[in-house]
Amino acid sequence: AGGLNLLTPPPPRYDAMAIVAEMISRGLGIPVRITVLRPGDKIDESKVDMRWGAWGADYPHATAFFTLFMSGAPSNRPGFTDAGYDRLVAQSESTVGDESDEAIRVAQRILLGEKVALVPLFHSNNRVILSGRVKQFSVNPFMDVDFKVIGL
């Protein structure tokens, strides 16, 4: 039963996980199985080695993502726990400026560098192609185009 079991929602997310599976299989020689999780499916996540995860921030600040991995947070599906990390994220939310920024930088090193609770594989973004006729254009902090503000 060697290899990895990857858990993903149906297409279009499946398509991205299939690319990841191919990269792992071809690049590392590790057999990969993809399990598609459909709404209502029950799965024993202890038997899953990797899962597709995506989320959007509630507001445009780093803490919107880092609170997801605080001990006991409902969104903390991997079950990551680190008291120092929790303290730093709470500090970053209760302070402003350089002190908040430094706390989140240290928390980021714990989450992604020291403990490796999360390994970001892909990051998507939006591209907008504009005609030279467009004179007014607005993109909000979440990278969504505000179509009410476009002018010719």
The pLDDT tens digits for 92-129 are 888 888 888 899 889 888 887 787 766 666 666 667 77
What pLDDT does 114 receive?
81
**Residue 1: is its pLDDT beyond 60?**
no
Among residues 2, 1, 5, 3, which one has the least CA distance to residue 47? Answer: 5
What is the SS3 assignment for 8? strand
**Contact predicate 8/37, CB 8 Å:** yes
Going along 9-148, which residue ranges are E strands? Answer: 32-36, 50-51
Note the pLDDT tens digit of each residue in 30-88.
899 888 888 888 777 677 777 776 666 677 676 778 888 899 988 787 788 999 999 99
Range 126-150 average pLDDT:
76
Going along the chain, which residue ranges are E strands? Answer: 4-8, 32-36, 50-51
Give me the count of residues in the chain. 152
Contacts of 14 (CB under 8 A, 6+ apart): 8, 34, 36
What pLDDT does 90 receive?
92
What pLDDT does 88 receive?
92
Range 26-33 average pLDDT:
88
The C-alpha atoms of residue 130 and residue 7 are separated, in whole angstroms, by 37
**10 confidence band (pLDDT: 50, 70, 90):** confident
